[in-house]
Amino acid sequence: MQVSGGTDATVGIPPDVTEETEAFWTAASEGRLVVDQCDDCSAFSFPPRGMCRTCRSRSMRSVEVTGRGRIYSYTVNYQRWLPDLEVPYAIAIVEFPGCPGVRVVGRLRGCAPEEAAIDAEVEVGFEPGPGGYAIPSFVMLGPAP
């Protein structure tokens, strides 16, 4: 979904990319959200730690999350923590009914930050973030049920 407007998210602190997180940030640059899924028990694990949180298998693969998410909670940040940081913006913590145990933190765009709501459905997306990295950025699909 193409949604323009909102706050520039490029001012900030970029991630340190590690062996565990490289797949996530590479997929992010392609606009895809990936999490770990266990080859042995099929459980999801995120953030990736190289071990299945459910059965401790070390055999994991990256799979794309394509379904809608749901806002577990959120905040609207008004404070200019860094020079040139554009405020306000909403930060949402999103769960995915199809991927139990996965929570992803991202920005919310395409609406006024104050419209953020617990239990609202969101579509997965990304937007340009600090240091040239694409960061998770969700779009609300309507008000909370």
91 is an interface residue for other proteins by CB under 8 A? yes
End-to-end CA distance of the chain: 21
93 is an interface residue for other proteins by CB under 8 A? yes
- Where does this chain touch other proteins (CB under 8 A) — which range of 12-20, 34-42, 56-64? 12-20
Q: Which is nearer to other proteins, 6 or 60 (CB)?
A: 6
Is the preceding omega at residue 128 within 30 degrees of 0, hence cis? no
Q: Kindly tell me which residue out of 22, 39, 118, 143 binds other proteins, with binding defined by CB under 8 A.
A: 118
Q: Kindly tell me which residue out of 23, 43, 85, 141 binds other proteins, with binding defined by CB under 8 A.
A: 85
Q: Alpha-carbon dihedral of residues 16, 65, 28, 85, nearest 10 degrees?
A: -80
Q: Kindly tell me which residue out of 41, 55, 105, 112 binds other proteins, with binding defined by CB under 8 A.
A: 105
Q: How far apart are CA 130 and CA 145, in angstroms?
A: 33
Q: Which residues contact 68 (CB under 8 A, 6 or more apart)?
A: 96, 97, 121, 122, 123, 124, 141
Q: Kindly tell me which residue out of 26, 57, 111, 133 binds other proteins, with binding defined by CB under 8 A.
A: 133
14 is an interface residue for other proteins by CB under 8 A? yes
124 is an interface residue for other proteins by CB under 8 A? no
Answer yes or no: are the C-beta atoms of 110 and 120 closer than 8 Å.
no
Answer yes or no: are the C-beta atoms of 106 and 137 closer than 8 Å.
yes
Q: Kindly tell me which residue out of 60, 65, 89, 125 binds other proteins, with binding defined by CB under 8 A.
A: 89
Q: Which residues bind other proteins (CB under 8 A)?
A: 9, 12-18, 21, 47, 72-82, 85, 89, 91, 93, 103-107, 114, 118, 129-131, 133, 135-137
